[in-house]
Structure 1
Amino acid sequence: MASSWEKLASKKRDSILAAIPPEWRLPQPLPTPEAQKVVAGSYVRQFLSAREVEITENDAVTITEHTTSGKWKATEVVTAFCHRAALAHQLTNCLHEIFFEQAIEHAKRLDAAFAAGNGPIGPLHGLPVSFKDQFHVKGVETTMGYVGWIDTFEGLKGTGKEKNVDSELVREAKALGAVPFCKTSLPHTVMSGITWNNIVGFTLNPHNRLLSCGGSSGGEGALIGMRGSPIGFGTDIGGSIRIPSAFNGLYGIRPSFGRLPYAGAANSMPGQNTIPSVCGPLATSLGSLKLMLQAILSQEPWQHDPAVVELPWRDDLYTPLSAFGAKLTFGLLPTDGLVNPQPAIRRAFETVKDLIISMGHEVVEWKPPSQQNLVKLALEVFTADAGLDIWHHIGLSDETLASDVAALYGKEPGTPKTVDKMWEANLRLRQYQKEYMDYWNSTATMTKSGRPVDAVLTPVSAVPAFQFGKSIPIGYTPWVNALDYTSVVFPVTKVDKNIDTFDDQYRPINEADKQAWQENDPELEHGTPVGLQLVGRRLQEEKILGLVDLISTSLAAKQKIM
């Protein structure tokens, strides 16, 4: 017989599906991932009207141009994305909370205000926005993937906050005219690169359902990858925005801590601030990221979240060429030294490297202080409480802990680090940050311009997407969190089994690298998106977005010619 937690999880899972209108439900049985590997693009379009396709395949920039001018009604836009999101969930398990009716009523109020002559509510008027299920939205609950959080407020009952709270970021998005309409799946604990929990199961990659969509903001990646949302918010403590962005062919930004408001959002180990989690958007275009950051910063979030730095949008930094002249310098970091990138990742890296050189910019080999030490320290910090917080919330229902999370936190709570050990870890982190800063400054002696490197080009992952039940190499992302640097992910290409062939002459550098190399399967990975990240220093969001704009525009022009 099913246990009590299994029954509770099943009831919640069924309630999510029940929130989908009958006319939007797909014929049963659904095709298996083996039978229908790709569900994005042409496959999902067959279930949509031509008008719905037109609306949902525009980015947030175009959508808001139409909604703020009155050309498109908010109700039509929100309804179209609700329909596509419903399809996305049925095919990928990407949603945790569906509140389409609430969203459509919200959109109707926006339309009524516009028709009354009040004009748009704000720059995001009528824009559907999805949120990772760490963010609270009034009217719906937040489980964060924990069965024990069902029918509670973050695991607590009788608080009066159940379904009655907006996280600060949600409040600001609404004030700007945005319409929250769904919340997306994540791994319980949010400490995994694979999105799985006992409520919705595995969330699949819409471009290749045989592979993972990444994590922990995997539901956002899968939903936006299927164009079921034009833009949404995830969180990133070790790569959780960047990995899903790369795996699903999206743009995403991991801003520095304190740039965007995190207040009022749920989290694992919420008091852990040595390497804090940050929130940021994922979207189908770079312009959408810029639009969202500009809009949120216009709300002066530093007035509402004490952790936010008083730093308005700096448009002059978005065009770095005008500030630094015609020549820029990029550091090249092709490998993390732990697991070398697979053929498709190497090809993407070389493509962008050659593009940068062809544009007349300079590249230098990036040889910083050991990033492996940063990754080790990050994992040390993330496990400092020996799993007490995670096991507490798992224990609320006695559900099964995800195997990859259990590998990190053990099969039961351990002994937390003492305060003096945490202080010592903090000191080591500051030392690493200073060493890395000094190295970055020293690159001024390596460049023709006499200025330090502008940004660093590096992979997001050694693999195009994680395989279920296989290794999860994550060394390319946590070092950015440890340094609190800005990072923007952008799509480059897709795996091509005819080009990115298995390298039987490869000599692995260690056991982890050997395992990843042995798991390389171009046939399985064929068609999976491949992205890279561009990394800048702290609080350089505008500059790195501008540099990615420069690269992506040139890359698109080149690919169009080819």
Structure 2
Amino acid sequence: MGDPTSTSWQALVADKRRRQAQTIPKEWLISTPSDTELTVTDVPATCGLLTEKELLITSSDVDHLLKKLASAEWSSVEVTTAFYKRAIVAHQLVNCLTEIFVDRALARAKELDEHLQSTGKVIGPLHGLPISCKDQLRIKGLETTMGYVSWIGKYADKNSALVDILYECGANPFVQTNIPQTLMWPETFNNVFGRTLNPHNRTLTSGGSSGGEGTLVALRGSPLGIGSDVGGSVRIPSVFCGVYGLRPSYGRVPYAGALNSMEGQDSVPSVFGPICNSIAGVKIFMKAVIDSKPWLKDPLAVRKKWDAEAYGLEEHGHGEKLVFGIVWNNGQTVPHPPVIRALEMTKAALLAAGHQVVDWVPHRHAEISKVVNDIWSAGCVEDYHSVTNLTGEPLIDTMLAEGEVLPTTFRPESDASSSTFQLWQLQKAKLKIRQECLEMWEETAKTTGTGRPVDAIISPAAPYAAPPHGKNTDASYTTVFNGLDYPSCVFPVTRVDPVKDAKKPPHQFLSSMDETNYNLYDPNTFFNAPVGLQLSGRTLEEEAVIAMTEIVDAALRAQK
């Protein structure tokens, strides 16, 4: 592309969008529904583009797909083609893709098929599985803009460590997905690719920053996606789009070689995690990556093998008569009626399955969220401008739809930077709260009746279902677990029901945020929005968190 400063940022965007459109096979274009059609989840199956077999393939979960691929009953070429077609349909409906490289992915699929045919063996545990990647993961030879105009034309000269691992495991990365400019938004919009919509109701946000992944997986345009999470960016789009998503602890999944914002900020590191339509797929991804010994590719990756004993819940009564702490509110914002109903449904399901549920009183959650936000603010504005100034693109200060005005912004103010000493005090405060939370959790062993502490915490992932564009201004329910470094897994529970979830009379507001949140709610505004929760465990306890999420998921299914 040459020197970006010699061309207007608008011209760079126009050229990038033109080049992106050229990567879409014309025969995969469909007649898209009008903007007044809010729910588009059925369109991939009814648009006529996919064959019956392709619909069967794309409706299959990861564990089933891998069995079919390993047995050669389904070829990698036909599985990749099916998901590629569905991904392109999804993109036309909700604008979720950034990089599209059909020929390259199909060539890889062909190589995988030939290897299986000639050797009778799969390449690895993810053999033939198409995987979508958030537009941070570098794939050699492809552009990675991360939503910045200034990074148009930034081609990767090598893969990120995680992409190398995917290839070694036999997977087939096939698309990259949309994100917000800077990543530091719980919604998805940027100057390069525009806004990603929620397929369940296109007037609602997809969440962010992994919004492209959340929507693509929800539309089954990908069997498994990789998002990143520094304050909720895997969990928020997962819960808003009605899918599963895991935020692992720091360093459990390799980050080396990926693009990021606020590089050098290592007190609350961003982490990569899977987004999937099944909890089984979450486990399969994590085990495959960890078994590949990522610490040999990333110096910050934790040297910790997949722990089968932890997955078997040996420290948690082998999964029998678990004790779950339930967070009804974080002391700052009372969740909307559908979220409260999801908590009640989950509690009832767990009790019916023979487990125990106790109320969990959050410890200094508001302070943890503020400390994390202040750590981000220490240098983030300078970081953003160091990139946007290269082309003069505007720094986005709102996610609102055009024409709407909201007096608040999610971003820190431009004078929010801290001195080095002030930053050290924030990091010190975060560590102090982590120590207090550890001691508090250990203390619960005296009251559970099992002889062990509470096994996991179940809480909202947001105080609402997916809100309208620009209205997702509270990420405190997820950010707290980034600060504490607790692995957390989102699971779907229900949908907004205008009858069951009628607006309640005003309560004694906990804060001005709580009052704003109360006034936001109207069940009709949140029409058809998925509602989910998150399950959190102790630091580096990913295996147990996955296993306990499986138990919760099974208990909820048993009640349906």
Q: TM-score, normalised by structure 2?
A: 0.94
Cross-structure match for 1:387: 381
The code of the aligned residue for 2:325 comes to G
After TM superposition, the structure 1 = structure 2 runs for residues 310-459 of structure 1, keeping only pairs within 5 Å, are 310-320=303-313, 324=317, 326-404=320-398, 407-409=409-411, 414=415, 416-459=417-460
> What are the superposed Cα offsets for residues 352-381 of structure 1, whole Å, 9 maximum, x if unpaired?
011112222222221242111000001001
The code of the aligned residue for 1:21 comes to P
Q: 2:174 aligns with which of 172, 176, 181?
A: 181
Instruction: Name the CA distance, whole Å, in 2 between partners of 1:552 and 1:368.
Output: 23
The code of the aligned residue for 1:224 comes to V
1:9 aligns with 2:13: yes
Distance 1:384 1:505, change over 3 A: closer
After TM superposition, the structure 1 = structure 2 runs for residues 210-289 of structure 1, keeping only pairs within 5 Å, are 210-289=203-282
SS in 1 for 2:167: helix
Cross-structure match for 1:85: 87
The code of the aligned residue for 2:90 comes to A
Q: Tell me which moved more, 263-272 or 390-399.
A: 390-399
How far the C-alpha of 1:295 sits from its partner, in A, is 0.7
Contact 1:93 1:203 (C-alpha < 8 Å) held by counterparts = yes
Instruction: Name the CA distance, whole Å, in 2 between partners of 1:407 and 1:266.
Output: 25
How far the C-alpha of 1:498 sits from its partner, in A, is 1.8
The code of the aligned residue for 2:343 comes to F
Instruction: Name the CA distance, whole Å, in 2 between partners of 1:42 and 1:415.
Output: 45
Instruction: Name the CA distance, whole Å, in 1 between partners of 2:323 and 2:554.
Output: 18
Distance 1:415 1:452, change over 3 A: closer
Instruction: Name the CA distance, whole Å, in 1 between partners of 2:452 and 2:15.
Output: 59
The code of the aligned residue for 1:270 comes to E
Contact 2:377 2:412 (C-alpha < 8 Å) held by counterparts = no
> What are the superposed Cα offsets for residues 285-336 of structure 1, whole Å, 9 maximum, x if unpaired?
0000111111111111111111111111112222327851522111111111
SS in 1 for 2:559: helix
Instruction: Name the CA distance, whole Å, in 2 between partners of 1:143 and 1:310.
Output: 31
The code of the aligned residue for 1:356 comes to L
Q: 1:20 aligns with which of 6, 17, 24?
A: 24
How far the C-alpha of 1:525 sits from its partner, in A, is 1.4
Contact 1:388 1:414 (C-alpha < 8 Å) held by counterparts = no
Instruction: Name the CA distance, whole Å, in 2 between partners of 1:337 and 1:201.
Output: 35
Contact 1:321 1:327 (C-alpha < 8 Å) held by counterparts = no
How far the C-alpha of 1:44 sits from its partner, in A, is 4.3
Cross-structure match for 1:62: 64
Contact 1:386 1:414 (C-alpha < 8 Å) held by counterparts = no
1:557 aligns with 2:551: no
The code of the aligned residue for 2:540 comes to L
The code of the aligned residue for 2:70 comes to T
Instruction: Name the CA distance, whole Å, in 1 between partners of 2:179 and 2:431.
Output: 31
Q: 1:132 aligns with which of 126, 134, 145?
A: 134
Contact 1:68 1:123 (C-alpha < 8 Å) held by counterparts = no
How far the C-alpha of 1:41 sits from its partner, in A, is 2.9
Distance 1:396 1:409, change over 3 A: farther
Contact 1:386 1:417 (C-alpha < 8 Å) held by counterparts = no
SS in 1 for 2:434: helix
> What are the superposed Cα offsets for residues 393-429 of structure 1, whole Å, 9 maximum, x if unpaired?
1112211222248945567x54732221121111111
After TM superposition, the structure 1 = structure 2 runs for residues 539-550 of structure 1, keeping only pairs within 5 Å, are 539-550=540-551
Cross-structure match for 1:191: 184
After TM superposition, the structure 1 = structure 2 runs for residues 167-178 of structure 1, keeping only pairs within 5 Å, are 167-178=160-171
Contact 1:237 1:275 (C-alpha < 8 Å) held by counterparts = yes
Cross-structure match for 1:157: none
Instruction: Name the CA distance, whole Å, in 2 between partners of 1:470 and 1:298.
Output: 40
> What are the superposed Cα offsets for residues 138-192 of structure 1, whole Å, 9 maximum, x if unpaired?
121100000000012xxxxxxxxx3322000000001110000000000010000
Instruction: Name the CA distance, whole Å, in 2 between partners of 1:327 and 1:111.
Output: 45
Contact 1:368 1:436 (C-alpha < 8 Å) held by counterparts = no
How far the C-alpha of 1:450 sits from its partner, in A, is 2.3
Q: TM-score, normalised by structure 1?
A: 0.94
The code of the aligned residue for 1:530 comes to V
The code of the aligned residue for 1:333 comes to V
Q: Tell me which moved more, 396-405 or 477-486.
A: 396-405
1:200 aligns with 2:193: yes
Instruction: Name the CA distance, whole Å, in 2 between partners of 1:541 and 1:499.
Output: 34
Contact 2:506 2:518 (C-alpha < 8 Å) held by counterparts = no
Distance 1:471 1:554, change over 3 A: closer
Q: 1:301 aligns with which of 294, 300, 306?
A: 294
After TM superposition, the structure 1 = structure 2 runs for residues 503-514 of structure 1, keeping only pairs within 5 Å, are 503-514=504-515
Distance 1:283 1:15, change over 3 A: same
Contact 1:192 1:404 (C-alpha < 8 Å) held by counterparts = no
How far the C-alpha of 1:466 sits from its partner, in A, is 2.4
How far the C-alpha of 1:471 sits from its partner, in A, is 4.8
The code of the aligned residue for 1:255 comes to P
Instruction: Name the CA distance, whole Å, in 1 between partners of 2:53 and 2:244.
Output: 25
Contact 2:13 2:192 (C-alpha < 8 Å) held by counterparts = yes
Contact 2:331 2:362 (C-alpha < 8 Å) held by counterparts = no
How far the C-alpha of 1:263 sits from its partner, in A, is 0.6
Instruction: Name the CA distance, whole Å, in 1 between partners of 2:472 and 2:65.
Output: 39
Instruction: Name the CA distance, whole Å, in 2 between partners of 1:320 and 1:26.
Output: 48
Instruction: Name the CA distance, whole Å, in 1 between partners of 2:117 and 2:416.
Output: 61
Instruction: Name the CA distance, whole Å, in 1 between partners of 2:472 and 2:60.
Output: 36
Instruction: Name the CA distance, whole Å, in 1 between partners of 2:470 and 2:208.
Output: 14
> What are the superposed Cα offsets for residues 175-211 of structure 1, whole Å, 9 maximum, x if unpaired?
1100000000000100001100011211001111110
Contact 2:467 2:526 (C-alpha < 8 Å) held by counterparts = no
| Gap runs ≥5 in structure 2 | 1-6, 400-407
How many correspondences in the alignment?
Answer: 544
1:532 aligns with 2:533: yes
Runs of 4+ in 1 over 4 A off after TM superposition: 408-411
Instruction: Name the CA distance, whole Å, in 1 between partners of 2:345 and 2:314.
Output: 22
Q: Tell me which moved more, 92-101 or 519-528.
A: 519-528
Cross-structure match for 1:461: 462
RMSD after superposition: 1.7
The code of the aligned residue for 1:211 comes to L
> What are the superposed Cα offsets for residues 419-451 of structure 1, whole Å, 9 maximum, x if unpaired?
211211111111011011110111111211121
Contact 1:185 1:218 (C-alpha < 8 Å) held by counterparts = yes
